[in-house]
Amino acid sequence: MARTRSRYGRYVDGPDPLAPPVDLSEALAAISEDVMAGYSAERALREYLRRGGQNREGLDDLAGRVARRRRELLTRHRLDGTMAQVKELLDAAVLAERKELARDITLDDTDRDFRELRLENLPDSTAAAVTELADYDWRSAEARADYEKIKDLLGRELLDQRFAGMKQALENATDADRQAIQEMLSDLNQLLDAHRRGEDTEQDFADFMDKHGQYFPENPQNVDELIDALANRAAAAQRMLNSMTPQQREELLQLSAQAFGSAELMAQLGQLDANLQALRPGENWTGSERFGGEEGLGLGDGTGVLQDLAELDSLAAQLGQGYGGARMDDIDLEALARQLGPDAAVSARTLAELEKALRNAGYLSRGANGDLRLSPRAMRQLGRTFLQEVAERMSGRTGQRDTRLTGAAGEITGSTRQWAFGDTEPWDVTRTMLNAMRRTASDPTVPEERSRAQRSDPTPTVPEERSGAQRPNASRRAAVPRFRVEVSDVEVTETETRTQAAVALLVDTSFSMAAEGRWLPMKRTAVALHHLVSTRWRGDQLELVTFGRYAQAMGVAELAGLPALREQGTNLHHGLLLAERMFRKHPTMQPVVLVVTDGEPTAHLTPEGDAWFNYPPDTATIRATVAQLDRLGRLGARITFFRLGDDPGLERFVRQMADRVDGRVVSPDLDDLGAAVVSEYLSARRASWNRYPGWDV
C-alpha cells in the first residue's frame, strides 16, 4: 500500500479555526480602567479597539500600516512611465532609420538629404515628434516596426486605464482583436446610454455579458455592478491625469490620437468616460496626488496605483471610526487583505469579534437613555478583580489567600441542623451523606422494585469460574437501590451569630481628588468593598455616598462611571446626613461609617437645602459638620476617617473629629487605600479595633 505524507503549517486562509476564543478578561480590564478614569463605556470600548491588546494589533496599528503603505506608493513611483517607453521606442526607430539611410545605395541623394533633414529637425517634445512622423515613409523595416509598437503601446495603455489587465491581454493583438475591442466599446456605450435613459432591461445586460464577458474579470451580476467597477477605475484614471504635470498631460493627450492608429478608439473612450461620470457623479473625479519616486508607471499601472491609494484612503477612514454611527463591521476585510496582507484582515476580524463578544456576553449594556455602560456582570467581574488585589496587599504575599475575606458565617460551634432556604453556612458532609444512606436503606418501595426486577428477568445466578462464588445477575444488580442525596438530607454546621452591619462609605469627589490623582484609587476601593459586601456578607447593607458641593447616594456602576468633577466644595455634612438616614432605615444593624477624604469641609447644607461654600472653611460649616457627626456617635456608629494627602489642617481636623466619637484615623498610601478600607470594614464586623500593620494610625 502506498504511503501518504502530510505536511502541516500555519493556517493562513482567514482566522485559525482551531484558535482559542478571544480573551475578554484583558479587554474588560482595560475598558473598566478607562471607565473608572472617567471615560464613557462607549469611548472606553473605542479606545481599547484603537490600542489593541498585549499581543493584538489595534485599529491605530492597522491605520499606521495603511499610512505607511500609502506613503510607500507615492515615494516609489512617478507617472511618466508610458512617456519614457514611447521616447525609447521613438529613439530606436529614428536610429534604425538613419542607419538604413546611410547604407541604402538605391536612394538618390536628394531624397536621402530630405529624409535626414526631417529626422534631424524633429521637435523636442516626444508627443510632437511622434505626430510629426505619422505620415513618414519608413525605409527601415525595423524602424517601422518600432514606430508601430508606439501606437500599439498607447492603445493598450489607454484601454488598460479603463479595463484592468487589458494591456497584457492585447499584447501581440491582431487586427481582429482590435476590431473586437471596438465592437465591445460600442456595445458598452449603447448599454450605458440606455441605462441613463432608464430603457435598458436585464436581458440587455445578460446579452452584453454573454458576448463580451471575457473583458470583465470582476464578473458583475447586474448593470449597476458593472458601472461601479468601470467608474471606480475611470475615476482613478482621471485622478492620474490630474496628478501629472501640465507638460506631461499635454503630451499624453497628443499621443492619445496615435493609439492603435484609430481616432474612433479615442472617441469611444471619451464617450465611455462621459457616461460613467454622468452615472456615478459621486466618484472622486477631481482629486490628484503628488508622486516623487524613481519607478515610472505606465497608464494602466498608474491607474491601478491610484485605485490602491483611493482604497487606502477608504480603509483609513474605516479604521479611524471617526464618523457618526461607525462600526467595526464597516471595515472592508477583503480590501485590508489586498493592501496589507491576510494577517491585517485577521487582526481586524478579531477586534470585531471581540467587540461583539463583549456585547453578547453581557459585559456591556444599553442604559435607559441609550448610552453604553458596564453591565452588572461586568461590575461583578471588576469587583472580583479589585477585591483580589486588595486581598493580595492585605496578605503581604502575592497569590496568598486572605481567610478574613471568606465566608459570611462566624466561628463553628460543633453542632449541626437541617438546612433551610437562605442558609449560607457550610455543609456537614458526613452527616448529610449518613442521612441519605439511612433514608435509602429504609425506603419501603425498594423490595417492590427488587421483586419486579426479578420477575422481569428470572435468570438464575451464574457461578464464578474461579472461586465458585455466586454472582448477582444483571437483574439483581439493577434492583439495588440507587444512592441519591435529597434536600431533606442536607445538614449545615451551626456558627456563632454575627451582627449585621449597615455600612456607609463616604467618598470625597471634590476637584482636589481628581487633581491629585486620587480619583481612580477611590473608585477602585468603592467597587472592591461593594463586591465584598454583596458576595460574602449579603446580610449587610452598603450605601455609597459621594460628597462634593452636594452629597448623593449612588449605585456602584454609576460611581464607577462618574467622570472627574471640577466642582469646589467638600460637603461632609451632607454626606453624614445621608448616612444617618440610611442607618435609621436599618435600626437593628450595626452602623459603620467609612469616610475617604483629602480636605477639610468647605461646604454644608443649609435648612433650605442649599449648599453653603466658603474657603477657608467657615465656622458655620465646621459647626454643622461636627453636630451631624455627634448625631451619628449617639447612634453608636463606628466611624473611621481615611486621610489622603499631607495637609496639616486636614490632619488636625480629622483627629479632633475622630476623638469626639471614639473613632479612628487611617492615613494609607494611595496603593493601600482599598486594603485599608476593607480591613477596617472587617474589623468593624468583628467588633475589634485591631491596628493593621503597615499603616500610620
- Under the banding of pLDDT at 50, 70 and 90, the label for residue 687 is low
The answer to whether residues 640 and 588 touch, using CB atoms and an 8 Å cutoff, is: no
Q: Is residue 400 situated within a structural domain? A: no
CA distance 262 to 500: 98
- Top pLDDT among 61 and 19 is at 61
**Co-location of 223 and 177 in the same domain:** yes
pLDDT at 407: 43
SS3 56: coil
**How much is the pLDDT for 449?**
47
What's the confidence (pLDDT) of residue 370?
65
> Do 559 and 544 contact (CB within 8 A), yes or no?
yes
Number of domains in the chain: 4
Q: Note whether 317 and 457 are same-domain residues.
A: no
| pLDDT > 90: percent of the chain | 31
Final residue of a domain: which of 453, 479, 495? Answer: 495
User: What mean pLDDT is reported for the chain?
Assistant: 82
Burial category of 35 from C-beta neighbours within 10 Å (exposed 0-12, middle 13-18, buried 19 and up): buried
Q: Kindly state the average pLDDT of the residues 223-227.
A: 93
406 in a structural domain: no
pLDDT band at 252 (very low <50, low <70, confident <90, very high): confident
Instruction: Assess if residue 697 is contained within a domain.
Output: no
- At 516 the pLDDT is 86
Out of 356, 374, 392, a domain closes at 374
- Position 408 scores a pLDDT of 45
| Same domain (yes/no): 489, 536 | no
520 shares a domain with 647: yes
DSSP label of 696: B
HSE-up of 419 (CA within 13 Å, CB side)? Answer: 20
More confident call, 260 vs 385: 385
Q: Where residue 572 falls among pLDDT bands split at 50, 70, 90? A: very high
CB–CB of 286/242 below 8 Å? yes
- Please provide the distance, in angstroms rounded to a whole number, between the alpha carbons at the two ends of the chain: 83
Residue 395 lies in a domain: no
> Which residues sit opposite 416 in a β-bridge?
493
Q: Tell whether the model's pLDDT for residue 638 goes beyond 50.
A: yes
Output the pLDDT for position 381.
79
Q: How far is 373 from 390, CA to CA, in rounded Å?
A: 25
pLDDT digits (tens, 9 = 90+) for 84-123: 899 999 999 999 999 998 888 788 888 888 989 999 999 8
Mean pLDDT of 144-149: 91
The reply to whether 383 falls in a domain is no
Given this model, what pLDDT does residue 204 score?
A: 93
Q: Please, which pLDDT band fits residue 428 given cuts at 50, 70 and 90?
A: confident
Closest by Cα among 409, 397, 390 to 680? 390
Between strands 541-547 and 551-554, the pairing is antiparallel
- Same domain membership, residue 256 and residue 111: yes
On the question of pLDDT at 534 being above 90, the answer is no
- Beta-bridge mates of residue 508: 547
* Mean pLDDT score, 295-321: 89
Most confident of 166-175, 249-258, 456-465, 529-538: 529-538
SS3 181: helix
Is the confidence at residue 645, as pLDDT, over 90?
no
pLDDT at 411: 58
For the CA atoms of 513, 519, 524, 526, what is the dihedral angle to 10 degrees? 50
Both 530 and 430 in a single domain?
Answer: no
Parent domain of 475? 412-495
pLDDT class for 69, splitting at 50, 70, 90?
Answer: very high
Report pLDDT for 404.
40
437 and 573: one domain? no
Q: Are 573 and 545 in contact (CB under 8 A)?
A: no
> In terms of domains, do 206 and 239 share one?
yes
**Same domain, yes or no: 569 and 625:** yes
Task: Decide if 297 is inside a domain.
Answer: no
Does residue 11 or residue 78 have the better pLDDT? 78
Query: What H or E segment, with its residue span, contains residue 653?
Result: helix 648-660
Query: In this structure, are 29 and 97 located in the same domain?
Result: no
Question: Can you say whether the dihedral through the CA atoms of 538, 541, 543, 544 is positive or negative?
Answer: negative
Q: What is the pLDDT of residue 397?
A: 40
Using one digit for the tens of pLDDT, what is the confidence trace for 333-359?
Answer: 999 999 999 989 988 988 888 888 887
Inside any domain, residue 4:
no
Last residue of a domain, one of 346, 374, 402: 374
Structural contact between residues 485 and 433, judged by C-beta atoms closer than 8 angstroms: yes
Of 227-241, 422-436, 501-515, the range with the lowest mean pLDDT is: 422-436
pTM (global) more than 0.75: no
How does residue 316 score in pLDDT terms, banded at 50, 70 and 90? very high
- For the ranges 126-140, 201-215, 452-466, 619-633, which has the lowest average pLDDT? 452-466
User: What's the confidence (pLDDT) of residue 465?
Assistant: 43
For the purposes of burial, counting CB atoms within 10 Å of the CB of 493, is it exposed (0-12), middle (13-18) or buried (19 or more)?
middle
Give the pLDDT confidence score for residue 481 in this predicted structure: 57
Contacts of 453 (CB under 8 A, 6+ apart): 475, 476, 478, 479
How far is CA 149 from each of CA 88, 153, 156, 223, rounded to the nearest angstrom? 11, 6, 10, 35
What was the pLDDT predicted at 391? 81
Would the pLDDT of 48 be above 90?
no
Asked if pLDDT for residue 508 goes beyond 90, the answer is yes
Same domain, yes or no: 73 and 116 = no
Q: Where are the alpha helices (DSSP H) in 164-201?
A: 166-169, 175-197
Q: What does the pLDDT read at residue 390? A: 81
Residue 400 confidence (pLDDT): 38
- Mean pLDDT, range 571-589, rounded to an integer: 94
Answer yes or no: is 103 within a domain: yes
Q: Are residues 276 and 325 in the same domain?
A: no
Determine the average pLDDT of the residues in 197-216.
92
